[in-house]
Amino acid sequence: MIFTDDTWARTAALRSAIEGSAFLAELGAGTLDPATFRHYLEQDTIYLAGYARALALLAARAPGPATAGFWAGSAGNAAAVEVALHADLLTGGLLPEATGPATASPTTLGYISYLVAAAATAPYPVAAAAVLPCYWIYADAGRRLAAHAELVAEHPYARWVAAYDAPEFHASVARARALVDEAAEANPGDVEAMHDAFALATRYEWLFWETAHARESWPAPA
């Protein structure tokens, strides 16, 4: 079986939880609290900086120049295009003003730390599997949300939804999947560890939506 098809099937329960999350349901309907969306964007901006570092590390360890070029280009895209979109949404007047500087939540910090560590120290195929869920799950969510957002007049989050349902983004996901499948085929001894890495990153994706909806912060000492 093709690795990405198999690992997608293995994580069906986690992905079902993502699809049923209150955050995505309210985002698709356009009813998500703007303060919650600001919290999410602030956390995602921090996350994207860490994700770009993980992709850059992965590029440096890639098995060939074309593969390295894709991952390096993806790092640049995460650092520039997506962060610029977030900054525009945060300052465009749609959302409430920030109450202070944003700091990484426990989930955001944990997810970044895992991806950077995997990209720096795990075998290349395992690291590639770890970074894939962020691509793929966002594209999957974007496609599903777009169908609902089109039915909402003057949808407040239409720009965000459109960005993750863009043809260019889906093409990047297809390329990332192909590279991970190539890595699995060339390194059969790493396949089970690749499944574990994909599942853990998928779990973090689910937690990211859940904790964004709850506006997770660090607990204060008693």
Our measurement of the distance from residue 30's CA atom to the centroid of its chain's CA atoms, rounded to an integer in Å, reads: 20
CA–CA dist 156, 142 (Å, integer) = 15
CA–CA dist 159, 50 (Å, integer) = 23
Spans of all domains in the chain: 3-214
Structure confidence at residue 157 (pLDDT):
84
Structure confidence at residue 148 (pLDDT):
73
Name the region of 93 (left: φ>0; alpha: ψ -120 to 50; beta: rest).
left
Q: What is the pTM of this model?
A: 0.92
pLDDT in tens, 81-138: 676 776 677 666 666 666 667 899 999 999 999 999 999 999 999 999 999 999 999 9
Q: Per-residue pLDDT for 146 more than 90?
A: no
Structure confidence at residue 158 (pLDDT):
83
CA–CA dist 113, 148 (Å, integer) = 34
Q: Does domain 3-214 have CATH number 1.20.910.10?
A: yes
Burial of 171 (C-beta count, 10 Å sphere; 0-12/13-18/19+): exposed
Q: Cβ contacts of residue 206 below 8 Å, gap of 6+?
A: 14, 17, 18, 21
